[in-house]
Structure formats: structure tokens, C-alpha cells
Structure 1
Amino acid sequence: MPKAVSPPVSALFAVAKPSGPTSMAVVNDIKKLVTRSRLFVKEDELKKAEKQRPKKGKSAKYAREAVKIGQGGTLDPLADGVLVIGVGKGTKRLSEFLDCVKEYRTAALLGCETDSFDSEGAVVRVASWKHVTREKVEEALPKFRGDIQQKPPIFSALKMDGKHLYDYARQGIPLPRPIEARPVTVHGLDILEWKGSDHSFRYPETKFTDEQKSALEKAMHGIEDQVIVKDEPEAAASEDTPSTAFVLQMRVSGGTYVRSIVHDLGHAVGSAAHVVTLTRSRQGRFALEPSEEDNTLGCVPWEIFKKAVEDPGESDADGWHEWERAVMDKMEVLE
């Protein structure tokens, strides 16, 4: 922490979120630490909170009121990587990270389409994939670079006429109009690794029932197909055979759906595809692998926060805990 800065401070820092927990769960755990730390909360507020700590459900009440905390762009439970945290005045700066350029690495698995466009969803259909080569994917990538129009997934929380898109799909209610495409910019999109069949990825076990497929078809009736429902017989007969996987690296503008790029790319090569891993490697000036050249800051490992929530341990000679030292080393202090 800069010597000229005295706590409590307002700050921005990033945590390396693991795959599994929701972004909100991560923020809530960090909040338990932040609201009890003199790095972010005034000493007198901490003392007030300490007096209330014996009362269950009300511990750190004053501290919660004294400092705000938020995150600058949700990561799905499946995803890992950079999650920007704002504390105090830092919460007012979080909107910067919604619109900034982000970098991702994502593993795509061919031959299977899911309702969520990733491995957390249910299988909507299976398609042929053996004809897809690295060269074929390379040829299709230029269509997804630059300024493009992208349609959000029908199984998303976006609303149309006051109803979530996923409600139309699940209830078999025809969409009142096509899903509106949104302008996004893909600054870079390349194959980082071609895994072929050398991987442990498998299709999701949960599959759409005939009833669910029928509901989806009704929702999409009269609309240009975004989700193809019918299985290809050849593909259905070879579902147990490991299909081709590859890893993409991309730099995209805010609002870009990485899952949609993978889904649409699957269609572009005459197959189907969904996301099986997703890592946000950079968001604005925070990165998993920071460099002085790019003037980026690193991320605090999630394990440090997790350990501190379970047991903060002893403070050092200056009165700081391990997690606080880790944050000091990575944070951007705001005036």
C-alpha cells in the first residue's frame, strides 16, 4: 500500500474467481472480511460492530452500513478468472469494467448444443462433428471478428415485452418478434489449442425431453432459427465417442456473449458446439497474468479469501492479516 495513503481506503482490486461458486457468493464471502477490516472501515465503526457481534445475524451491522462493496461484471458459476471488486468509492467506478475490453479463453466441444450454450445446461440436440477440421474452423473465424451483430441466447434472462426470453422457450410461447441482434466488437479471435479427441470433456447428462423440444419449437415458430432442435441420426448413434474440442482465445467488447460465439461457430462449420470451460483472463487493467508493459494489476487468489473466512489467523507485527496484505499488494487506491 502506498505510504502516503492511510486507511480506511476506497479501492478497486480483483479476485481470481474459481469455477463453481456464483459471483455473488464470492462477493458475499469477501464482504465478511472487508466489513471487519480497518483497511476499509473506520476504527470507531469497527468497535460498534464488535459490540453487536454476539447477537446472531447482526454482526458487523454498522460496518456493513459504513462501507459498500460490489463487483464489476458477473462471471457464470462455470467460469473462472478475473472478477473486479469495488469497495467504498470503488463501487462508483465499477461501471467502467462493464464496458471495457475483456479477454477470455474458452474450450469448445463440437457435436452438442445445449439450452444454455454451455456444459451447465441440458442437451438440446446432437450433430455430426467428424467432418470438422482445424482448417474448417480457421476459415469460419473471420466471420466473427471485428464489428458484428450478435443475438443473445433465447435461454437468457433478457426480457421481451416484460417476459424473460427463457420463459418463452420453456413455456412454448411464440416470441412476439425476433430476438434483436446487438452490435459488439471482437478485437481478436484465434484458436489457442486444437485438442481433437485428447480431452476428458463429455456431453451433459441432462437432455431435453420431447415436450421441452416441442415448447422450444413453438417459441421459435416463425422466427429465423437460432436453436436447431432435431438430432442428426449419425451423431445420436455415436454420442459415447469423444468428439473434437478446441480452445479459443478472444478479446471482446463489453456485452459480448462468449457462449454465443461458440454456439454460432458450431453452426458455421456445419455442426453444433457448446462451452465447456471459460476463463476471463483480463478485464480492463486487471489480469490473471499482469505485466508492467501493459500496466495491468494482478488478482488476489480466491484461496486466500476462503482461508481467511474460515480462520483469519494471527495478524502480523503491523496488525495486518494475510488476506489484507494480499489485497494491499494488488489494489488500486481511490481518492
Structure 2
Amino acid sequence: MPKKEPIHGLFAVNKPSGKAIKQVLQHINHTFRLHAERTRPEMTRRQVVSLGTCFTQAKYWNSGVCVIGVNQGCRYLKSQEKMNERYHATGILGFSTSTKDIGGEVVDTASSSHITRQQILSILPAFQGKIYQEEFKIPETQPIVKPPFIKDFALLSKRQKKKIINQKYRTPPTTPTTPRVEIQSPKTIYSVKLLEFTRVHKYKPPILINTLKPTDAFNCDFDHSQTSETSEISERDMLNTLKFPDEPTPISLSLNNLINLLGKSDNHPIFKIDVECSSDAPIGRLIDDIGHKLGSVAFLTELERVKQGDFELYKDTLEWEELERFDNIYNALNDWIRKVRNKELELG
């Protein structure tokens, strides 16, 4: 049987929200493995193909364009990471988190009932051309000096034993550690446009911890996304919380939300913006700055990558169901190779 030539190149996937990058690569690798078993039965269980991806904004709750490199095509991923990107970002007003996005803990709340659509439209031009740059301090640790491990000390000669016993292990003098500072390359926001502003939405903001009754934490039918007015906890409710059931009762609210529940859930509008920026720009910081500019606070709750480099969402991407067929991936790789050759002909 003639040896088949391996395929190389880039293609893009519409990564759904809730899927990690590792799950996407495993799903693609499984498709390649099934194709190799059908076409080449003598293939062993080793890795069939080498895969890589761009790690810009690679979080499980993000969605949108995810560029995948196959075999030798992985070397082109660095050039894709340096290209400009376009996002659809959604922020909730009234809350601020430690990480400026949905993955952090609530640290601050503010009123957002006074914000209107015209106010957001008036401040967005101020963020066009904004540059973000951060400094990271990496502390230097002292090396730990340990004496060498001696095996079978009794089998050594008297001279060797005497030399080891009289040997003094000297540790290097302690010097003051100076942290190393790394400056991140500047990230530029090229354009910001408002797509939507509404007070009726599907996103559920955090709730007040003083409005949550102790019995509601163990009630599966309780809607933890909605809050009620502050009510005093009666002695009967306190006694009920002490009576734990024999079998573990599922709790529909995570422990982090139980500990960090702040703010109210009424009159917290959302705004959706279209952002064109450089690679790996801090969209969470942009949403936070917009909230402060409006006299309130905000955090990023949804992020969808619409375009990354040469790949555009719904135009050059494969859906999650299409990744199960090898022909779809093969055609997408050929389309990318055809585009690269056409660019070379235009430049050459």
C-alpha cells in the first residue's frame, strides 16, 4: 500500500461556550484517528496528527473563532496570533469582579439605573485608539542547596568515609532577591461600536447573601438567580439548617457564589459592543473602564470572537457537528492553502 502524504495547514472552528480548548483538540484528534483506522489499518495507537491552536482569550466560557493548526501548519499560528481580532463583548452594569469577567469574585457594586443608551454612545468614541500596557513582576527564588545522596556508605573505603565526614557543605551567601519586571507589548483598541443596550436580558446577575435563607441553599426548586427583599431569619429556619439529611442533597448554587453574593438583581442593564483590537487585548478591562466612565461598574459576562486574522465567524469556520467528518476538515484545509497561494500570486 503506498504511503499517504500527511496533511498540513490551518482551519478555524466555531468553539461553543462551555468547551475548553483541550476538548476541542481531543474531538478533532478523534476524527483524524477514525479516518486513519479506516484508510490505514496498520496504524498503531500513537498520535495520528499533531495539533495546535492560538491561545488568545482561551477560556472555557468564550466562544467564536478558534484557529487550529495541523502538523506543519502549526508554525503559522504565531503569525495568526499577531493579527488583529474582532469581538462581540457583553457586559453587565452594576457589578465588578476581581478578574473583570465572569470567572472572578464580586468585589464591588454600584447603581446603574441612571444609565441610558445615549450615555453609552457618547463615551464610546473616547475608547477608540486606547492603549493598554501592563507590567508583570516575577520574583526570583533562591536555589536550594542539598548535600549529595550517598548510597551504600558502609561499602566505601576508610579514606572515602573520612573525606565525606570531614567535608563541609557550604551554602551560598543569601543575597537580596530583586523581582524581575516584564513589560507586556501594548494592546490597542481600534474601534468600539454599540450593538445592543437593554434591561430585559437572559443573563443572571449575582444575588444578595442576606436575602438568601438557609433553607434555600438545600432546596433544589429554589431559583437562585432571583432575589427577594431582605427578611429576618427565624429560629425555625436556623433549626432546619442544623438537620442535615442522611443522603447528600444537590445544591444548585456553587460555593463561590454563596460566599461572594453581593448587590441586587433588579435594574441591571447589559450592553453589547463590537470591538476591533490588536491580538489578546484585555476586553475585560475595557468593559470595566466603560462602567467607571458611566459612573457605575461593569464586568464581562460573554465574549464571542467574530474574526481572528484571516478567519471570520460563520464564513471560514466549521461548526462543532461538522468536526465529526474528516472530509469537512480536509476541505477547510484546502481552502486555506488556496487562499495562501492566491495571496502569494498577488504579491509576487
Category of TM-score, reference length = shorter chain: 0.5 to 0.7
Q: 2:138–2:181: 8 Å Cα contact kept in structure 1? A: no
Distance 1:162 1:134 in 2: 48
Q: CA deviation at 1:139?
A: 2.5
5+ residue gaps, structure 1? 1-5, 50-59, 153-157, 164-175, 208-235, 291-297, 309-322
Letter in 2 for 1:303: E
Q: Does 1:286 align with 2:311?
A: yes
Alignment root-mean-square deviation, CA? 3.0
Q: CA deviation at 1:30?
A: 1.4
Letter in 2 for 1:67: V
Q: Does 1:273 align with 2:294?
A: no
Q: Does 1:47 align with 2:47?
A: no
Distance 1:261 1:286 in 2: 24
Distance 1:288 1:179 in 2: 34
SS at match of 1:48: coil
Q: Deviations over 1:295-323 (max 9, x none)?
A: xxx11101233xx3xxxxxxxxxxxxxx1
Aligned to 1:28: 26
In terms of Rg, which structure is larger? 2
Q: 2:111–2:296: 8 Å Cα contact kept in structure 1? A: yes
SS at match of 2:55: coil
Aligned to 1:264: 289
Q: Please, which of 48, 58, 79 is the counterpart of residue 62 of structure 2?
A: 79
Aligned to 1:304: 322
Q: Deviations over 1:181-209 (max 9, x none)?
A: 752221211101112x11021224698xx
Distance 1:27-1:125 versus aligned 2 partners, 3 A rule: same
Q: Does 1:161 align with 2:139?
A: yes
Distance 1:178-1:97 versus aligned 2 partners, 3 A rule: same
Letter in 2 for 1:270: G
Distance 1:136 1:128 in 2: 15
Q: CA deviation at 1:10?
A: 0.4
Q: Does 1:94 align with 2:77?
A: yes
Aligned to 1:107: 90
Distance 1:122-1:11 versus aligned 2 partners, 3 A rule: same
Aligned to 1:326: 328
Letter in 2 for 1:194: F
SS at match of 2:203: coil
Higher relative contact order (CA 8 A, sep 6+): 2
Distance 1:300-1:73 versus aligned 2 partners, 3 A rule: same
Aligned to 1:185: 188
Q: Please, which of 199, 202, 205 is the counterpart of residue 201 of structure 2?
A: 199
Q: CA deviation at 1:99?
A: 1.0
Q: Please, which of 52, 60, 77 is the counterpart of residue 70 of structure 1?
A: 52
Distance 1:177 1:145 in 2: 32
Distance 1:206-1:29 versus aligned 2 partners, 3 A rule: farther
SS at match of 2:35: coil
Aligned to 1:228: none
Aligned to 1:240: 265
Q: CA deviation at 1:151?
A: 4.4
Q: CA deviation at 1:240?
A: 2.4
Q: 2:14–2:314: 8 Å Cα contact kept in structure 1? A: no
Aligned to 1:15: 13
Q: CA deviation at 1:137?
A: 1.9
Distance 1:7-1:48 versus aligned 2 partners, 3 A rule: closer
Q: CA deviation at 1:178?
A: 10
Distance 1:181 1:140 in 2: 27
Q: 2:123–2:293: 8 Å Cα contact kept in structure 1? A: yes
Q: 2:9–2:72: 8 Å Cα contact kept in structure 1? A: yes
Distance 1:178-1:93 versus aligned 2 partners, 3 A rule: closer
Q: 2:132–2:282: 8 Å Cα contact kept in structure 1? A: no
Letter in 1 for 2:202: S
Q: CA deviation at 1:279?
A: 0.4
5+ residue gaps, structure 2? 142-178, 210-261, 342-348
Distance 1:181 1:8 in 2: 37
Letter in 2 for 1:90: G
Q: CA deviation at 1:260?
A: 1.3
Map 1:135-146 onto structure 2 (within 5 A). Answer: 135-146=118-129
Q: 1:149–1:181: 8 Å Cα contact kept in structure 2? A: no
SS at match of 1:95: helix
Q: TM-score, normalised by structure 1?
A: 0.65
Q: Deviations over 1:11-58 (max 9, x none)?
A: 2111110000211221122122224434xx9966x6231xxxxxxxxx
Q: Please, which of 122, 128, 134 is the counterpart of residue 105 of structure 2?
A: 122
Distance 1:161 1:35 in 2: 43
Deviates more, 1:101-110 or 1:19-28: 19-28
